[in-house]
């Protein structure tokens, strides 16, 4: 009986001590959907470049800077539910200022190449800045990827970042004052939706895209083992400087046939095909099936090891698939070396050199018209 009372007394004392031991630790609060702004870095002239973190309730995050509209990072779950960064990017703002091989920015005024760095519109020739073997690529020497855009964050369960930039008449040789808006929206279903709009006060040409390099393994492996499907029965062959010849050729019977899921590395080094030789692998525009100006399935990329699946939808007539053939070991985030074929780009767009190819879909934008384009990258796992 004495022991029973003592034990009871001890338990009572312990209970009282616990009740006065101070507040219990607060369980971690799950991050809710929304958008946050932080300082990314400063220009030499003192201007700020900001970093915007978009987050959805499922746990996916996308980080975008208003310098060049770069997608700095993006997380997506693997088949075990683990979120990892799947976008090639640089560690600091200073690294972006030094210049990158287009690791995720907005590309404009004209994505891809314009042959001879010139074109004729309404009988007048326009000479552009040549920055690629006598041609122009990705908007010239100081394209949209090197501009500080005005940013408007829009909070909510599907956070959005609106970026605007006004390109003056004559910039990089292009006619017309061009007002551009690009909106990044992180959707509830783990999709990143990119919407492009533009108007011009003079006839001009325009072809906007994003140049993100995806690595669905979470930076563990190159992309050669990925399974790629492109909903396209034809592609655009090029000359040795990678300017389209104007022909539209069937993919059937060539290394460019991805009408069914096919391993990226299966035929990427088949230099008996002159197009593979010209591109040092895949760096070509596929002509997507289906009606343009309507959002439709364009391509899928699957990493069998992580299980991550990226599904791309677009309103554009084409997609330039680039397999990072010229990355040379650049040190990226977390000190990871970005080596040859460590990423894959799906650059939705009108066709390269369209201003000089009357048989290609027109890229002309006239006063009173609005350029519109939508691309969606959806992420899942299987």
Instruction: Classify the phi-psi angles of 272: left when phi > 0, otherwise alpha if psi is within -120 to 50, otherwise beta.
Output: alpha
Q: Which residue, chain included where needed, has tokens 């607060």?
A: 26
Is 227 one of the annotated active-site residues of the chain?
no
Is 369 one of the annotated active-site residues of the chain?
no
CB of 134 closer than 8 Å to CB of 115: no
Query: What distance in Å separates the CA atoms of residue 77 and residue 122, rounded to the nearest whole number?
Result: 50
CB atoms within 10 A of CB 134: 11
Choosing from 138, 172, 211, 350, the catalytic residue is: 211
Query: What distance in Å separates the CA atoms of residue 72 and residue 88, rounded to the nearest whole number?
Result: 8
Query: What distance in Å separates the CA atoms of residue 75 and residue 194, rounded to the nearest whole number?
Result: 16
Choosing from 171, 284, 347, 350, the catalytic residue is: 347
Positions annotated as catalytic residues are 211, 347
């Amino acid at each position: 009986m004495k022991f029973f009372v003592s034990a009871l007394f001890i338990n009572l004392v312990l209970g009282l001590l616990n009740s006065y031991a101070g507040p219990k630790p607060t369980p971690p609060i799950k991050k809710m959907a929304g958008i946050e702004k932080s300082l990314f870095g400063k220009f030499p002239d003192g201007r700020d470049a900001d970093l915007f973190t978009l987050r959805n309730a499922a746990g996916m995050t996308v980080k975008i800077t208003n310098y060049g509209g770069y997608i700095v990072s993006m997380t997506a779950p693997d088949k075990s539910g683990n979120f990892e960064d799947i976008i090639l990017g640089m560690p600091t703002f200073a690294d972006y200022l030094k210049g990158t091989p287009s690791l995720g920015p907005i590309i404009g005024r004209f994505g891809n190449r314009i042959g001879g760095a010139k074109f004729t519109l309404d009988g007048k020739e326009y000479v552009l800045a040549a920055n690629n073997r006598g041609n122009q690529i990705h908007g010239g020497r100081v394209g949209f990827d090197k501009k500080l855009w005005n940013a408007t964050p829009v909070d909510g369960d599907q956070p959005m970042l609106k970026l605007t930039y006004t390109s003056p008449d004559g910039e990089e040789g292009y006619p017309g004052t061009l007002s551009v808006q690009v909106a990044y929206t992180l959707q509830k279903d783990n999709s990143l939706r990119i919407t492009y709009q533009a108007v011009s006060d003079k006839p001009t040409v325009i072809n906007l895209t994003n140049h993100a390099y995806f690595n669905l393994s979470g930076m563990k492996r190159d992309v050669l083992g990925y399974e790629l499907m492109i909903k396209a029965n034809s592609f655009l062959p090029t000359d040795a400087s990678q300017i389209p010849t104007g022909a539209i050729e069937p993919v059937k019977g060539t290394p460019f046939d991805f009408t069914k899921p096919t391993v990226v590395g299966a035929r990427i080094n088949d230099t008996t095909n002159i197009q593979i030789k010209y591109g040092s692998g895949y760096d070509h525009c596929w002509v997507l099936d289906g009606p343009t100006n309507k959002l439709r399935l364009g391509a899928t990329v699957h990493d069998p090891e992580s299980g991550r699946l990226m599904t791309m939808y677009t309103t554009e007539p084409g997609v330039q698939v680039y397999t990072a053939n010229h990355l040379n070991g650049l040190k990226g985030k977390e000190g990871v070396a970005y080596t040859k074929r460590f990423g894959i780009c799906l650059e939705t767009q009108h066709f390269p050199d369209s201003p000089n190819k009357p048989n290609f879909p027109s890229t002309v934008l006239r006063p009173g018209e609005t350029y519109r384009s939508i691309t969606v990258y959806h992420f899942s796992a299987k």
